[in-house]
Amino acid sequence: MELEEFKEFLNYINYDKKNNKSEIDNILYFIDWCNNNNYEELLLRLNSERQGGLGYNSIIDFTNKRIIVTRKKIINRIFDMGFIAGLGPFPYMIISQKKQESKIKDSAKLQIDKILHDQNLDCIINYNDILKIVIKRGSNSVVRNMLGSFIAKNYMTIFTKNNEYEYILPTKKNGEFHKMSYWMKSILPVQISLIE
């Protein structure tokens, strides 16, 4: 989707506020709008690591059509800070209180075609193949220091008809468990189960 088309969408939901009262309603409306107009857009992005530091790390992109998993390039393993609570740029702009005042920049648009043709593409999982996604709070990864204690990692397993995909989700890059799981449960077209 081009930025001009996204701006038209924002103008429409602002005009039609009586039918789109909540943040979730507006994002779900955006998903329907993308599906009806044959757009594939990024809804959520999570960072995963199998090993810390420079080990195997990946990006898990949830679009309105599927899940795309890509191995991170070395530079991204070091400098990529992730998205807050997983929300992609367009969904974030939809719920942002400042969307009227701020300019939507080119950097807000992530090209799904470019991700699909990345040489580091690991796998694609269609939503129709998913039985459920289980997200587990990483109570076994509590870190204690002088500032208190915090959970360092959460876990996600995607169950499909033929496979299980397991991912470790570092909280530094994916935000708080309840925010991340809230958006996943609210806008993804699959069953999400939580284990606290």
**pLDDT tens track for 164-182:** 999 999 888 888 889 889 9
- So what's the pLDDT on residue 136? 93
Averaged pLDDT for residues 146-156: 76
Tally of structural domains, the chain: 1
Residue 61's CATH number: 2.30.29.30
Higher pLDDT, 80 or 117: 117
How deeply is 100 buried, as exposed, middle or buried, from its count of CB atoms within 10 A (0-12, 13-18, 19+)?
Answer: exposed
The whole-model pTM stands at 0.84
Domain of residue 81, residue span: 3-195
- So what's the pLDDT on residue 131? 97
Asked if pLDDT for residue 39 goes beyond 50, the answer is yes
CA distance 180 to 160: 21
